[in-house]
Amino acid sequence: MRRLLLSGLGALPAALRAAPAGLNGRAVRGGRPAAAPEDGLSGTGGTAPAPDRHRPSPGRGRGDTVRAWTELFRVSALFSVPGDALAGAAAVGRSPGRGTALAIGASLCLYEAGMALNDWADREEDAVDRPHRPIPSGRISASAALGAAGALTAAGLALAARAGRPALAVATGLAATVWAYDLHLKHTKAGPAAMAAARSLDLLLGATATATATSTATATAYAGTGPGPRATRRMRLGAVPPTGPDNVARAAGPARSPLAALPAALVLGAHTYGVTAVSRHEAQGGSTAVPLAVLATTTALAAAVLATHQRQRPGEPATPGLAATAPGSSYRPDHPHHPAAPAMPYLGAPQPGTHRPHHHPTAPATPDLGAPLPGTYRPSHHAHRPTAPALTPLLLTAFTGAYLRTAGPPLLHAALNPSPPLTQRAVGGGIRAMIPLQAALATRAGAPGSGLAVMALVPLARSLARKVSPT
């Protein structure tokens, strides 16, 4: 009996060697290795994807690569960028145009350059704290991330250069701030201030690019081909500058310096300072005072945005710098449609019933519609004004409330329980809260349409944040 038992045990290893083995010791069904579960983890403390997951099969290679780059660029945070340029354009009293579009493109490139450079600079730290990130997990090489950061920086500066030299100067300062933050300032006390400066410069970039392009289009529309009768005729007709060759919309009021956007830039920078201060604790957590301080700052910023709008005099337009309109009158001395507009400082308009043959050879003896007289009403020009004063405060209140609703509760939760997950959630809420804040700033400056356009990005940002974390 003992001999039979020993012989059976001796044959067992051979039988096991003859049996088909599964991948990584897993069972085999039907003669084929069982598929590895999708949540399989490596031996690095259960936090990193398995190494063999980074060499995908040929059928899944492209999708996995795209996924890795979307994580590196944090594409769900991209929707917080276009509102900077739109708020800057509104702050200088201009409608969005070609210059604004170029500023948005430059901002997106520089923003993504900063994201790639951030992961490249933190690759050793992420290998310990967040090994699932694309670079430490091996899905993207460090050299590829650094190359992407350089290429995107060059593309952003090239787009800014198309908007004019002033815009290029602002974009150069923005790029230098981004690189300085990621490479050195991030781990110093100056880190939050540097990030706040970058966001403020981004809004100023939109203001500068829009104002520069609009001024160029206006000069082109009025310059003509020289000092001859053709150029003079266009001036005397009192025509509003048409949409120029660079597709810049008509100015909403007198030209203002891009420095007029500085208050809005400071508000956005203060919010960014708070978000960056909270993000310094998102890996380890443990800070209660910082989320509470940032929550108080967020409330103060919302109150400041509303108070600035409420301090305007009755009948004063929402856009700063525009003169007030007398009750019951449509006459606005600084409006480009009227004789005293800055665009036509020395030219009058024909009186009702007059006829100017040298300007209107075929015109009937009817009042010229180029410049309405004081106290008159032109439905074609002012049909929207009766609803604007009532609509703007409502939108501003709604956008400011959305800002508080997005940023406030996550900060409160992080203060009550400063764990890494709740701290990261507070950072993500702060990033998404920039969108309603930008909408509120644009609306406060008299551009409710731009505010609505910015708020339209909120559902997209929220949907994509469920798939790709913004932090």
The pLDDT, as a whole number, for residue 371 is 54
Most confident of 266-275, 348-357, 373-382: 266-275
Please report, in angstroms and rounded to a whole number, the separation of the first and last CA atoms in the chain. Answer: 68
Distance CA 368, CA 366 (A): 6
Beta carbons of 370 and 279 less than 8 angstroms apart: no
The residue ranking higher by pLDDT, 257 or 277, is 277
Q: Fill in the DSSP letter of residue 33.
A: E
Amino acid at 311: R
Alpha helices in 252-387 (DSSP H): 262-279, 289-310, 379-382
Say if residue 333's pLDDT is above 50: no
103-119 per-position pLDDT tens digit: 999 999 999 999 999 99
Beta carbons of 94 and 251 less than 8 angstroms apart: yes
351-370 per-position pLDDT tens digit: 555 545 444 444 444 455 55
**Bridge-based pairing state of the strands 28-29 and 32-33:** antiparallel
Say if residue 92's pLDDT is above 60: yes
Residue with tokens 């995908």: 56
Largest CA distance in the chain: 131
Distance CA 459, CA 471 (A): 18
pLDDT band at 281 (very low <50, low <70, confident <90, very high): confident
Distance CA 408, CA 299 (A): 8
pLDDT band at 231 (very low <50, low <70, confident <90, very high): very low
Say if residue 15's pLDDT is above 80: no
* Residue 413 CA to its chain's centroid (Å): 26
125-169 per-position pLDDT tens digit: 999 988 999 999 999 999 999 999 999 999 999 999 999 999 999
pTM, to two decimals: 0.68
pLDDT, average across residues 306-328: 48
Most confident of 37-51, 61-75, 242-256, 288-302: 288-302
CA angle 77, 304, 437 (to 5 degrees): 20
Distance CA 326, CA 269 (A): 36
Which run of H or of E encompasses 29? strand 28-29
Say if residue 197's pLDDT is above 80: yes
pLDDT, average across residues 166-179: 97
